[in-house]
Amino acid sequence: MNKKVVIIGGGFGGLATAVALKNAKTDITLIDKTNHHLFQPLLYQVAVGALAPADVAVPLRTIFRKQKNIHILLNEVVYVDKNKRIVYLRSKDEIPFDYLVIATGTQPTYFNHPEWEAFAPGLKTIRDAMDIREKVLTAYEIADCVEDPNERRQLLTFVVVGAGPTGVELAGSLAEIGRKTLLKDFKNLKHEKLTVYLVDGGERVLSSFDPSLSERAKEDLEELGVEVILNTRIFDAGEGHVLIGDQKISTANIIWAAGNQSTPLMKTLDTELDRMGRAVVNADCSLPNYPNIFVIGDTAHFKNGSDVLPGLAPVATQQGNYVAKIIADDLNPEWRKPFQYFDKGTMATIGRAKAIAQIGKIKLGGFMAWAMWALIHVVLLIHFRNRIRVMVEWIWFYLTFQPSARIMYWNKTKKETNRN
C-alpha cells in the first residue's frame, strides 16, 4: 500500500521533495496558499520593473503535469495533529498522512513593531513585489507633477532597511534603474536628486560573506549612488518618514528587508522553536519524537556543527532530496544517516556587472562574479521558457538600460494631479 505523504509548501524544499518522490510508492498531497512555485532569488527584479511576474513563477500544476502520484491542493494548513497524523485546512478539510514535510518558508518580522508593516512592506510574494513596483513607479509619476521641492524630494527618497542579499540587491537596483532609466523618462526630474538609503544595524553589508567582499559590495553600492548607513537601528517608520538613530528621513518609500520569522503554523506544532520561530530539528530533519514529520528549508533550525544552516534555496533543495530518500525507502530512524549540507558557495548581485561570489576559499567580484550569478540563476529557473525569457530580458537591459516590465496598473493615490 502506498504511503500517504503530505507536503506543506511549494517552495524550493517542498518542490524538491515532491520531484524526488516521482517514482516512489507514495500518494503525495502538495498544499500551498498560492498556485505557483516562486523563484524568490529574482523577486526583487520584479519589484523594480526589470522582470515580469511570469518570469519568476511557474504554476505548480504545470511543473507536476506528468507526475501521476501527486495531487495539488490550493489551501492553507492551520493545524497539525502530530499524534493522529492529520493536517487541518482552513477550508475545514482534514488530510491524513503517514509522512509530513513542512516547508512553509518565512515571512518578514518587524521586531515587535507590527505597525511598521503598513509603511514598510516586505518582499516575499509576487503580490509584495507588484505592490512595491506600483509604489515606486507612482512616486516618480507624482514627483514629475508636483512643484514643491520638499515633496518632490520626499517622493524620490527610497529607504531600504536591511543589508542582507535582498536589501543590497534592491538598493542597488533602485539606484541604478532610477538614474540610468527612470529619471530620463520624466522631463521635470532630469536634474532632480534621487536618494537611496540602505540601512542596517550591523557593522557591514552582506555580513555572511568574507569582510573583504562585504567592503567591495559597499563600495559598489556607493558607486551606484546608494548611501549606506551601518551600525544604526530603525526606531520608527510611519507615514512619510523613517527615524534612523537620531536622524529623521522624509520619504514616501520604505522597503523592509531586515529580518524573517517562521509562519504562524510553526507555533501550533508544540515543539521547540528558536527566536525566529524555526523548529529545532534532529540530524535527519525530523521533529524530536516524531520521525515521520520533517521540517526543512527556511523554517528549520538545523545545527551544522556550531552554526545553523542559513535560509538559502540550496539548503532547502538538498534537504528536500534527503528527506525524499528517507520516505521512499521507508527508513527507520536508527538507519538514517545525518543530513550533510554541501556548500556550493554563495553569491549576491549589486548592479549591472557588479556582484560578489564566495566559493570555498575563492572570492570573486565584479563582472566575473556577476556573469556566474546570472548563469547560475538562469540554469536554476524551473521552466525552460522562463530561462529563455529572463536571459533575453537581461541582455536587453545590459545593452540599453531599459527594463521592460515597467507597466503599472491604475493606482489611486492620495494626491491626483492633472497636467496640461
Residues annotated as part of the active site: 169
Distance CA 19, CA 24 (A): 10
Pairing of the two strands 86-89 and 94-96? antiparallel
C-alpha cell at 166: 535582498
Task: Give φ, ψ of 88 to 5 degrees.
Answer: -110, 130
**Helix, strand, coil percentages for the chain (3-state, nearest 5):** 35, 25, 40
Distance CA 107, CA 115 (A): 15
Count, residues in the chain: 420
Distance CA 95, CA 77 (A): 10
Cite the beta strand spans of 9-151 per DSSP E: 26-32, 36-38, 57-59, 70-74, 77-81, 86-89, 94-96, 99-102, 106-108
Is residue 87 within 8 A of residue 6, CB to CB? The reply is: yes
Distance CA 204, CA 273 (A): 28
Q: Which residues contact 51 (CB under 8 A, 6 or more apart)?
A: 42, 45, 390, 393, 403, 405
Q: Which of 59, 173, 178 is nearest to 126 (CA)?
A: 59
Cite the beta strand spans of 220-326 per DSSP E: 226-229, 234-238, 241-244, 247-250, 253-256, 260-262, 279-280, 286-287, 290-295, 300-301, 303-304, 307-308
C-alpha cell at 420: 496640461
Q: Which helix (H) or strand (E) holds 346?
A: strand 346-351
Q: Which residues contact 224 (CB under 8 A, 6 or more apart)?
A: 172, 175, 176, 179, 350, 351, 354
Q: Which of 110, 67, 403, 75 is nearest to 233 (CA)?
A: 110
DSSP one-letter code for 243? E
The letter for the amino acid at 84 is K
